[in-house]
Amino acid sequence: MLMRDAFLKDKRIVSVEVNNDDNSLTLNAPPNNDIRAYPNNLHQSLQFARTDRERQEIFDNFMASTITALTTAKPNIITTSDIFPIIRHEDLGKGIGVEKSTQPFSLPFIADLRIFFVHDQETSLAYVANEDIGENGLTPDKLKEIAFTNFEQKDWDLQVMGDGIYFLTLDGTYEASFLLNTELWKAIDSKLDEIVLIAPARDLVVFTDKSDTRNIKLLMQLLDKYYTQSPYPLTDAVLVWKTDHWETVQ
């Protein structure tokens, strides 16, 4: 509510709707009409801020970048270098009363997970919407190509932590996106008998070796705990790596 009121202080903003189902904000202002923002990056940045002044600067930057994106011409996605793929649950953006045209565009991935596409604005994520497909000749295949190329070329600070039970650690936003990185999992697979993986939350991707029965049991305990308790649950599916792709464990 505080964020909604802060946006409405800007006279250019006509309305702000808060969707508690997916923690999004839908803002309305000319000329773009609507933009939906997911301030996940903002919350993450605020948690690591060391002072009140730093937190205020982060919040102000989020407000400014979101309003700028809303009140200026839409970028040409075909030439945009800040578009990245992101793995989320299939229900993302399907709140009550949300028009299909403004819902985030996505492609199927595995189980109840889909590949979404975001403009990464450092302090917030703006999802590519269904209505963006077709603009400037943008097709689903072209969008996927652009996003995957950007993802591959970015210098990510990804780390694999742990011993027996392994965690992907990054920034709290893109961990699950690395399920799309075939070369990463081929390299890991060469060192294990078979990878079994869970992603119960957006910032929690955990895997172990299928032959390690003790850690398989621990993996299932982590799944039960964090899928039900996380504020941002992702999936309760259990995945296994097969040569060059993921499959679900039946």
Mean pLDDT of the chain: 85
Question: Does residue 72 register a pLDDT over 70?
Answer: no
Give the phi and the psi of residue 23 in degrees, each rounded to 5. 55, 45
Q: What angle do CA 114, 116, 118 make, to 5 degrees?
A: 160
Stretch 163-169: mean pLDDT, rounded? 96
The per-residue pLDDT for 223 is: 97
Lowest-confidence segment of 27-41, 92-106, 147-161 by average pLDDT:
27-41
Lowest-confidence segment of 64-68, 168-172, 206-210, 231-235 by average pLDDT:
64-68
Write 220-227 long-range contacts (CB < 8 A, 24+): 222/165, 222/198, 223/198, 225/200, 226/200, 226/201, 227/200, 227/201
pLDDT in tens, 119-137: 887 667 788 989 889 887 8
The per-residue pLDDT for 157 is: 94
Query: What sign does the dihedral 191-221-39-130 (CA atoms) show?
Result: positive
The per-residue pLDDT for 96 is: 47
Do the beta carbons of residue 36 and residue 46 sit within 8 Å? no
3 state SS for 103-134:
CECEEEEECCEEEEEEEECCCCEEECEHHHCC
pLDDT in tens, 140-152: 999 999 999 999 9
Beta pairing partners, 207: 166, 197
The per-residue pLDDT for 170 is: 92
Distances (CA, A) of 145 to 48, 79, 80, 125, 135: 33, 12, 12, 19, 16
Higher pLDDT, residue 14 or 33 = 14
Instruction: Give the helix/strand (H/E) hosting 139.
Output: none
Total-model pTM: 0.76
The per-residue pLDDT for 164 is: 95
The per-residue pLDDT for 54 is: 73
pLDDT in tens, 4-29: 777 777 777 777 777 776 677 777 77
Cβ within 8 Å of residue 60, ≥6 positions away: none
